[in-house]
Structure 1
Amino acid sequence: MSESEGAVRAELGELTGAHGNSAIGAPNARDAVRALRPSQIREVANAGFGVPDVLPFWFGESDRVTPAFIRDAASRALADGATFYTHNLGIAPLRSALARYVSALHGETSADHIAVTSAGVNALMLAAQLVAGAGDRVVAVTPLWPNLVEIPKILGASVETVSLTYGEQGWTLDLDRLLAALTPDTRMLMINSPNNPTGWTMTRDQQRTVLEHCRKHGIWIIADEVYERLYYGDHGSVAPSFLDLATRDERVIAVNSFSKAWLMTGWRLGWLTAPTRLMDDLGKLVEYNTSCAPSFVQQAGIVAVEEGEKFTQSLVHDLRASRDHLVSALQTIDGVDVRAPDGAMYLFFSLPGSARSLDLCKQLVREAHLGLAPGSAFGAEGEGFVRWCYACDPARLDVGVERLRAFLAAK
């Protein structure tokens, strides 16, 4: 080694920072990012690349394309030149349309309480950035889509989880346990209902109790309600919502998306319903994240909200039928334990081998050409289960069931 090389190496040693990384020699992301969980759903999907005829039930989307009336609206908007920046919080006609939509479902809501975002997951990140930061304590109800648990960690917050329990009634919440976790030093509760992956849906009485408790202690509620229209319970065409109970200017932020009720997963369009006092600061965050949602996509969103109710009701009817069909089919397989959930578009169930769900799902891809999501992708509380997205043609579900049946019979 030359004298000059030795000097460079010595200098690199002196530049080692507080995180143990050389400022020049080890270009790592910061520790909070490196500690994030990778997606095990994606890991299973990656294992399916190159495997012929895999049935992919692992992702949370329908196998149907976005309805033509929405696609046509986007085409018209593009033809009309809707390709420019918009207001950070969304174009006024879409905010007004969403305010009318939310008002019809949950009570009077003005456009001043609505912010348009670049997808529901972007809305979740923005909501968390608004109210949580380094050192804050966050509580989340699990099993849960990992984004909700990991987003606060990106911001330097700590996350404590309260798990649902599985039994004869399917997935249920121990309300006393959740309330005990919501201590006065808690900054934020993140709750997803109807829930991904379990389909569990919070009751209005449970929401009322949690809301009163959070009011008492000044705890923010971030309510992920993107599956609210995919609901099969006894309260009509929408799941119980914190917006049914809370005033629009208290510590409740409801997150929603166009992805599920209108099959617009690839469009990346969502919205927040939040206190007006947050809107100026939310506009800053949108500017520094994405600036705005695409103009032509927002134009399509107006049509989805204003003309899509018949489609959404038909979609939910079909999803209920697919849910019931798949539950009945799976219950004929020895060793499968499954219950029909009240919401979302997933079955989260146990079967032989699911105690090591990631290994099982990879094996199912290789040997049965069947793509399911491992329960461990949704946290330690999900281990022992797998998730099956049933948003597809029942005939396709039947093929998947027979592949699973043959796989288990060969063990």
Structure 2
Amino acid sequence: MSVAPSLEADLAETLPAHIKSVGTSQIGLVADRGRDDPDVVKLWIGEGDLPTPDFVVEAAHKAMLAGETRYTYSRGIPQLHQALSDYHRRHWGVEVTPERFAITAGGMNAIMQACQALLEPGDEIIIPTPNWPNLAEAARVNGAVPVTVPYRRSADGRFSLPIEDIEAAITPRTRMVVVNSPSNPTGWVMPLAEMEALLKLARARDLWILSDEVYSHFTYGNAIAPSFLQITTPRDRLIVTNTFSKNWAMTGWRAGWIIFPDGLTGAFSKLAQYNTTSIPTFIQHACVTALEEGDAFIRTMVGRCADSRAIMVEGLSRLKGVTVFQPEGAFYLMAKIDTAETSLDLAFRLLRDAKVGVAPGTAFGPEGEGFVRICFAVSPGLAREAVARLARVLGEK
């Protein structure tokens, strides 16, 4: 039985102020209009079109048949902690002890647990913008105040984040600086030298760094993105969040991880207990297999994204009123489209007329007005189809 709109509004007024301040996802507003339409090319959400690889699915099935369907350690099974430690050593050359990992219900829950652990009502959290909206909303859910620092944009469309801009935003109430590199939605990648400068600033001001490193493998040069783990000690005020969703096409599995400093194992064990009481045990065994056997699949994903990125950047640059900024990393591009419409109205029009689902730029903050974000983690054929459909609506130069 549904609640009458007037009653729902009355009930909403009884909620705490910090919960009432949480925004509605504009990405969801667009996606909900076309989610069930099989004719729509869906590029609005950060999800590729490949299924989870068979070896991961088979590992989950094998674990279920073996009886791995019961409660387990709230922070995750020891085998997965060890596999994550090995994974970070293999790719970044860093030593992260198994005791510093906690398994979470996806990357979003990792971010939420970090905010629960560190933020008090009224604390400020600095977030570069345009940004993934969930970062700011996780802060609001915990009563904290997001403070946005806009990326700078050069004439060629490249994004940058000068350390002095972050420093200028610091107040006595600042508790944390968030870095998402490679960035959703801009594709910006933070150079290691800039990470070192931010770490120096954070140490001097006693600030925490929350580093969302979900897209680290999705860079389009010869190396993966740098990690703050490469320049920090186990005692630094650093939280790293990540997920199995992107690298191994496991978005629906809801599995992620958080890395915290030495000395906080007990705190994050309790947070895991009271958030999820652990994620399903058989999923954790499948995650071990993804880490141990999945490097080749990651390379396939990244190569596919590189091909589709090239197709979309070249194709969209031929369209009327469209300026495309080639991303350095992640699997999104920001396209600026000259129109009198808001970016939300434009996204609705492209969904209706082109049957292409994109995310409105303002979903990522007011700095995104005039832009749409497009996910190119799809097959090259689907990327070409999306460009062709958009060309029929927007026209070519």
The corresponding residue for 1:138 is: 125
Q: Which residue of 2 aligns with 1:81?
A: 67
TM-score under structure 2 length normalisation: 0.93
Partner of 1:191: 179
Matched with 1:232 is 220
The answer to whether the aligner puts 1:294 opposite 2:318 as a matched pair is no
Amino acid in the other structure paired with 2:40: V
- Partner in structure 1 of residue 372 of structure 2: 386
Q: Is the 8 A contact 1:354 1:360 kept in 2?
A: no
**Normalising to structure 1: TM-score of the pair?**
0.90
Structure 1: gaps (5+ residues): 1-20
Mark the CA change 1:403 to 1:135 in structure 2 (over 3 Å): closer, same or farther.
same
Match for residue 143 of structure 2?
Answer: 156
In 1, Cα distance between equivalents of 2:180 and 2:341: 24
Note the alpha carbon deviations across 1:101-138, whole angstroms, 9 max, x for none: 11223311110111111111000000111111111111
1:197, distance to aligned residue in structure 2 (A): 0.8
CA distance in 2, matches of 1:184, 1:50: 48
One-letter amino acid of the structure 2 residue matched with residue 206 of structure 1? E
CA displacement at 1:389 relative to structure 2: 0.6
Within 5 A, what are the aligned runs for 1:4-403?
28-49=14-35, 51=37, 53-106=39-92, 107-167=94-154, 168-234=156-222, 236=223, 238-353=224-339, 356-403=342-389
Residue aligned with 2:153, SS = strand
Query: For residues 49 and 301 of structure 1, do their structure 2 counterparts lie closer, same or farther at Cα, with a shift above 3 Å needed?
Result: closer
Q: 1:90 to 1:181 in 2, by over 3 A?
A: same
Larger radius of gyration: 1
**Secondary structure at the residue paired with 2:209?**
strand
- Segments of structure 2 that go 5 or more residues without pairing to the other structure are 1-6
In the alignment, the residues of structure 2 paired with residue 228 and residue 263 of structure 1 have an alpha-carbon distance, to the nearest angstrom, of 15
The Cα offsets for residues 212-258 of structure 1, whole Å up to 9 and x where unpaired, read as 00001110000000111111235x1x201111111122100100110
Identity of aligned residues (%): 40
Q: CA deviation at 1:25?
A: 7.4
Aligned residues: 387
Shift of 1:52: 5.8
1:338 counterpart SS class: strand
CA distance in 1, matches of 2:13, 2:58: 46
2:248/2:290 contact within 8 Å kept:
yes
Q: 1:40 to 1:26 in 2, by over 3 A?
A: closer
**Matches of 2:157 and 2:234, distance apart in 1:** 33
The Cα offsets for residues 183-204 of structure 1, whole Å up to 9 and x where unpaired, read as 4541111111111111111111
Q: CA deviation at 1:265?
A: 0.5
